[in-house]
Chain A
């Protein structure tokens, strides 16, 4: 794995890593007056794979955007304790975001799209080439560097989007329902790919989804949210001794995990209905 060595997690002197994200009673009210997020507290440690799961309108995407530093919290505090904070009060280059749509620039080739985050830092095409090719190889698209987005399938576009997110070697990868628009087969394959990335690079992932099965398959921690106003309903780890692969999908562990997550989600939906 190309990315693994570059960002091997360094232990701090206390033997414990500082958390990547610390949200303290964060609320967000939109200009329309809607309270999208209410008193959300969340601490994400390095190396976790956290799923934010909930019905639509539960503020999971809003929470993710606040974690990314896109849009301020209306009240409460958010901090990125292990990141260098830049002049705007945001973490500098440690966070990458994968949107629900691939969000590629159609006028740029795959190479140009993956180059973007580095270009914005002033790194030239030539200087960035090895990193870009690495990131593309990680998602299996090294041969498609010169293709334009329109020439790619939906799944391939999503991989380009992931490669672009990885090219800066971020500590934290935020994914906002990245595979919701893809077909089931592509989605499972990309799920496996993200898991593999997570295992091999030690990257921390926060993954927004509305799929019980996706969250139970991917994450080692699940935050169930409920709507009106958006808030945290439950926050629990998911442990398994099994390797998360095709076999895991049919295992008793996975079934139990799905059941647990499903129950929590039903609770969240039920109690939000009043």
Chain B
């Protein structure tokens, strides 16, 4: 004996809107691109017409040239900054998730340790960096620690929130079926906090880059092993404004890449089930 069911009504909507979806996607890429191109063009015309000297405001062409000719100095710096940002983000992920799991184990653990995390977060990173520079074995490690401290907190606080927001009935269900603590964590609490984790990841990714740059400013690091922040300052001292702009553009691109990467990871893990990744159809 079977019960009858009606098919979910989403299938036909999807197939009929496929063409429309493709056009929509094309426009979504094309429109921002055109706006950006227009702005760059306006910049170029503005510089050419007004005759501003390139050491005040270079034309986009000069910036592109600097990007090309100075690539051999900018590329290693970009690589250093990328490495520090991604590595600190990775450490923040491990640390944030690990510490969050530790915190939610008991109310007393949270009461005891959460304030420490808050203190680390609210103290401006620029203010601690001199101290970190003294203790850290190398500037690179110091930068890594600074970026880690900044990226760590959003991941931690989101993860704690996520781990505590698990549906109580589902917790009861796991109890009922005699799930161990480990099983409840693995099969219920971690997947349930995935949306929160992804929010933390996106915020942390952006902050890690900011912190990597700010910490390098604060550290005043110099020389061959330095990141883009040093190249920015160096270009400023030398009044090499086109190169400064080129370094700035590389930083923006790195930020965009990190944002795209974290958004993509978020979409990949949530799009099948979470409301935030679903298109609303009315």
Q: Do A and B truly interact?
A: yes
Instruction: Say which residue of B175, B179, B192 sits within 8 Å of A70 (CB atoms).
Output: B175
Instruction: Say which residue of B10, B169, B194 sits within 8 Å of A103 (CB atoms).
Output: B169
Q: What residues of B have a CB within 8 angstroms of the CB of A65 in the complex?
A: 172
Contact with A along B1-27 (1 / 0, CB 8 A): 111111010100000000000000000
With an 8 A cutoff between CB atoms, is B109 at the interface? no
Instruction: Say which residue of A70, A116, A120, A140 sits within 8 Å of B3 (CB atoms).
Output: A140
Instruction: Please provide the chain B residues from 171 to 208 with a CB less than 8 Å away from any CB of chain A in the complex.
Output: 172-179, 183, 187-188, 191-192, 194
Q: What residues of B have a CB within 8 angstroms of the CB of A120 in the complex?
A: 174, 177-179, 183, 187
Q: How far is the CA of A218 from the CA of B189 in the complex (A)?
A: 36
B256 to nearest A CB, angstroms? 29
Measured CB to CB, the nearest residue on chain B to A1 is B1
Given A103-B170, A106-B274, A159-B3, A152-B178 contact (CB < 8 Å): no
Q: How far is the CA of A95 from the CA of B142 in the complex (A)?
A: 56
Q: How far is the CA of A65 from the CA of B278 in the complex (A)?
A: 35
Q: How far is the CA of A103 from the CA of B171 in the complex (A)?
A: 10
Q: What residues of B have a CB within 8 angstroms of the CB of A193 in the complex?
A: 3
Q: What residues of A have a CB within 8 angstroms of the CB of B176 in the complex?
A: 68-70, 95-97
Q: How far is the CA of A137 from the CA of B1 in the complex (A)?
A: 9
A38 to nearest B CB, angstroms? 23
Q: How far is the CA of A147 from the CA of B178 in the complex (A)?
A: 27
Q: What residues of B have a CB within 8 angstroms of the CB of A141 in the complex?
A: 3, 5
Q: Are A70 and B172 in contact (CB under 8 A)?
A: yes
With an 8 A cutoff between CB atoms, is B272 at the interface? yes
Q: Are A107 and B273 in contact (CB under 8 A)?
A: yes
Measured CB to CB, the nearest residue on chain B to A68 is B176
With an 8 A cutoff between CB atoms, is A198 at the interface? no
With an 8 A cutoff between CB atoms, is A31 at the interface? no
Q: What residues of A have a CB within 8 angstroms of the CB of B172 in the complex?
A: 65, 70, 97, 99
Contact with B along A163-193 (1 / 0, CB 8 A): 0000010000000000000000000010001
Q: Are B4 and A148 in contact (CB under 8 A)?
A: no
Q: Are A106 and B1 in contact (CB under 8 A)?
A: no
Is chain A's binding surface mostly helix, strand, loop or mixed? loop
Q: Are B178 and A92 in contact (CB under 8 A)?
A: yes
Q: Are A103 and B178 in contact (CB under 8 A)?
A: no
Given A70-B175, A95-B176, A150-B273, A103-B8 contact (CB < 8 Å): no
Which of A96, A107, A143, A147 counts the most B-chain CB atoms under 10 A from its CB?
A107
Q: How far is the CA of A101 from the CA of B170 in the complex (A)?
A: 10
A188 to nearest B CB, angstroms? 12
Measured CB to CB, the nearest residue on chain B to A88 is B178
Given A1-B1, A70-B172, A103-B170, A117-B177 contact (CB < 8 Å): yes
Q: What residues of A have a CB within 8 angstroms of the CB of B191 in the complex?
A: 105, 107-108
With an 8 A cutoff between CB atoms, is A86 at the interface? yes
Q: How far is the CA of A64 from the CA of B10 in the complex (A)?
A: 37
A237 to nearest B CB, angstroms? 27
With an 8 A cutoff between CB atoms, is B167 at the interface? yes
Q: What residues of A have a CB within 8 angstroms of the CB of B183 in the complex?
A: 120
With an 8 A cutoff between CB atoms, is A125 at the interface? no
Instruction: Please provide the chain B residues from 225 to 279 with a CB less than 8 Å away from any CB of chain A in the complex.
Output: 272-275, 278
Q: How far is the CA of A261 from the CA of B2 in the complex (A)?
A: 31
Q: What residues of A have a CB within 8 angstroms of the CB of B275 in the complex?
A: 150
Q: What residues of A have a CB within 8 angstroms of the CB of B6 in the complex?
A: 153
With an 8 A cutoff between CB atoms, is A196 at the interface? yes
Q: Are B179 and A151 in contact (CB under 8 A)?
A: no
B2 to nearest A CB, angstroms? 5
With an 8 A cutoff between CB atoms, is A249 at the interface? no
Instruction: Please provide the chain A residues from 88 to 112 with a CB less than 8 Å away from any CB of chain B in the complex.
Output: 88, 90, 92-93, 95-97, 99, 101, 103, 105-108
Q: What residues of A have a CB within 8 angstroms of the CB of B1 in the complex?
A: 1, 196, 200
Q: How far is the CA of A70 from the CA of B174 in the complex (A)?
A: 10
Q: What residues of A have a CB within 8 angstroms of the CB of B174 in the complex?
A: 120
With an 8 A cutoff between CB atoms, is A139 at the interface? yes
Q: How far is the CA of A211 from the CA of B1 in the complex (A)?
A: 27
Q: How far is the CA of A56 from the CA of B191 in the complex (A)?
A: 34
Measured CB to CB, the nearest residue on chain B to A97 is B176
- Ordered by A's residue number, 20 sampled pairs between the chains whose C-beta atoms are within 8 Å are A68-B176, A70-B172, A70-B175, A86-B178, A96-B176, A99-B172, A99-B173, A103-B169, A105-B191, A106-B274, A107-B191, A120-B178, A120-B187, A137-B2, A140-B3, A142-B2, A152-B8, A168-B177, A193-B3, A196-B1
Additional pairs, 11, CB under 8 Å, beyond known A86-B178, A97-B172, A108-B191: A93-B178, A105-B188, A105-B192, A107-B192, A116-B187, A120-B178, A121-B177, A140-B4, A140-B5, A141-B5, A153-B8
